[in-house]
């Protein structure tokens, strides 16, 4: 995230590191990078470097009935699964280190959850960076290893429920286009922008609902297709350490169809999915690629509308979310005009 969370001081963070991981920071600094979690870099008094993530659990709520305890449970399951994968021999997986009590996640009050990672000194990428054919060839074995994780690794993993988290936010926004949205400076511009794309969104929501129903039937009738997935293996979640790409950010790990990972990696010519098929023998189902492509695009829109239909300001994060909303809705409109799903 681009701005640090309010109410979480360096003193509270230092106390959590000391109490949970026996780490006494000599220096700690906030890193305005990424989305979803907040990040810090810290150096202990012994000279060890650590990468610290803190999640605002309220940001992980999936519906009005959800709770921060449930959100924390989902996050813990994903991180425990990633840790088990690393311990099974997947050294490319950069996963949380165990706290003193053996857990990988600690609460800071009711609002936040903290995890600690080894600091990886390598070449980081951005979300939109292009991956070369050589990069993709090096990544195929990693994704194959994740999807081939044995049952002993998958014990903590939860299964994809194929729901669109926050779908109610989007549906309420579409029902409230008469406005006004007066929670902040981007409210009314967001309402007008959404109104221009409302019919396309309605169409894609229905399409996604049909695909999700198909995925549920396949998960029930074809359980062998369900594999451990990372969830977000985009270029920004790979760090190049010498010849080895390292895969980070495992908070979305789930048991799901393989297409949950594959749609993000194929450059559009089928080369990555073809290489994956040759390596695994698995059949790739285009409708499932469509499902996860749609889910990603709609989730971006949901996240922005959650901000702009409520109280907000004009912070660097608000401005970045406004750009994401514009970009996401424009891409959606072009795709619908061209007869694609997103």
d(CA 243, CA 249): 20
Render pLDDT for 255-272 as a digit per residue (tens, 0 to 9). 999 999 999 998 889 999
d(CA 76, CA 329): 32
DSSP three-state, residue 53: strand
Give yes or no for residue 316 having a pLDDT over 90. no
- Quick one: pLDDT band at residue 338, thresholds 50, 70, 90? low
Give yes or no for residue 136 having a pLDDT over 90. yes
Which of the following CATH numbers is that of domain 133-337: 3.30.450.90, 3.90.1200.10, 3.10.20.30, 3.20.20.70?
3.90.1200.10
What is residue 160's DSSP assignment? P
Q: Long-range contacts of range 175-180, CB-CB < 8 Å, 24 or more positions apart?
A: 176/309
Contact 308, 184 (CB under 8 A): yes
Q: Could you tell me which residue, 31 or 244, shows the higher pLDDT?
A: 244
**Cis-peptide into 144, omega within 30 deg:** no
* H-helix or E-strand spanning residue 311: none
d(CA 264, CA 235): 9
CA distance to 27, 57, 294, 337, per residue, from 51 (Å):
12, 19, 32, 43
Report, as an integer, the average pLDDT of 117-128. Answer: 90
- Tokens representing 151 are 């049952």
pLDDT > 70: what percent of the chain?
96
Burial of 185 (0-12, 13-18, 19+ CB in 10 A): middle
Domain definitions of the chain by residue range: 10-119, 133-337
Q: Do domains 10-119 and 133-337 have the same CATH topology?
A: no
First and final C-alpha spacing in the chain: 25
- Quick one: pLDDT band at residue 229, thresholds 50, 70, 90? very high
- 10-119 folds as Phosphorylase Kinase; domain 1 (3.30.200)
Give yes or no for residue 292 having a pLDDT over 90. yes
- Quick one: pLDDT band at residue 34, thresholds 50, 70, 90? low
d(CA 72, CA 106): 9
Global confidence as pTM: 0.92
- Quick one: pLDDT band at residue 9, thresholds 50, 70, 90? confident
Report, as an integer, the average pLDDT of 73-82. Answer: 97
d(CA 281, CA 258): 12
DSSP three-state, residue 58: helix
- Quick one: pLDDT band at residue 165, thresholds 50, 70, 90? very high
d(CA 309, CA 324): 15
Alpha helices by DSSP H, the chain: 10-21, 68-87, 133-147, 167-175, 187-196, 198-221, 259-265, 271-280, 286-308, 316-337
Q: Name, in order, each residue with C-beta under 8 angstroms of 104's C-beta and a sequence gap of 6 or more.
A: 76, 79, 80, 83, 95, 96, 97, 98, 115
**55 backbone dihedrals φ, ψ, rounded to 5°:** -105, 130
């Amino acid at each position: 995230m681009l701005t640090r969370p309010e109410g979480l001081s360096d003193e509270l963070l230092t106390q959590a590191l000391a109490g949970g991981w026996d780490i006494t920071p000599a220096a700690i600094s906030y890193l305005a990078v990424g989305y979803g979690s907040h990040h810090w870099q810290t150096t202990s008094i012994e000279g060890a470097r650590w990468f610290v993530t803190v999640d605002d659990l309220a940001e992980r709520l999936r519906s009005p009935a959800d709770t921060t305890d449930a959100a924390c449970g989902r996050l813990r399951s994903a991180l425990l699964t990633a840790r088990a994968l690393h311990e099974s021999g997947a050294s490319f997986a950069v996963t949380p280190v165990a706290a003193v009590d053996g857990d990988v996640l600690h609460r800071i009050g009711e609002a936040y959850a903290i995890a600690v990672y080894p600091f990886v000194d390598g070449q980081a990428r951005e979300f939109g960076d292009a991956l070369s054919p050589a990069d993709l060839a090096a990544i195929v074995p990693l994704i194959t290893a994740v999807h081939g994780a044995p049952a002993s690794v998958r014990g903590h993993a939860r299964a994809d429920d194929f729901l669109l988290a926050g779908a109610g936010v989007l549906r309420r926004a579409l029902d409230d286009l008469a406005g006004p949205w007066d929670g902040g400076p981007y409210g009314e511009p967001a309402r007008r922008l959404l109104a221009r794309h409302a019919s396309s969104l309605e169409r894609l929501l229905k399409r996604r609902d049909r695909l999700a129903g198909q995925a549920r039937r396949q998960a029930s009738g074809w359980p062998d297709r369900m594999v451990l997935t990372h969830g977000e293996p985009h270029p920004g979640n790979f760090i190049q350490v010498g010849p080895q790409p390292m895969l980070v950010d495992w908070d979305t790990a789930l048991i799901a169809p393989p297409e949950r990972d594959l749609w993000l990696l194929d450059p559009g010519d089928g080369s990555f999915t073809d290489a994956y098929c040759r390596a695994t023998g698995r059949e790739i189902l285009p409708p499932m690629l469509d499902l996860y492509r749609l889910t990603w695009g709609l989730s971006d829109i949901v996240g922005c509308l959650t901000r702009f239909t409520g109280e907000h300001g004009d912070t660097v994060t608000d401005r970045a979310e406004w750009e994401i909303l514009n970009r996401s809705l424009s891409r959606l409109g072009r795709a619908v005009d061209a007869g694609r799903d997103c």
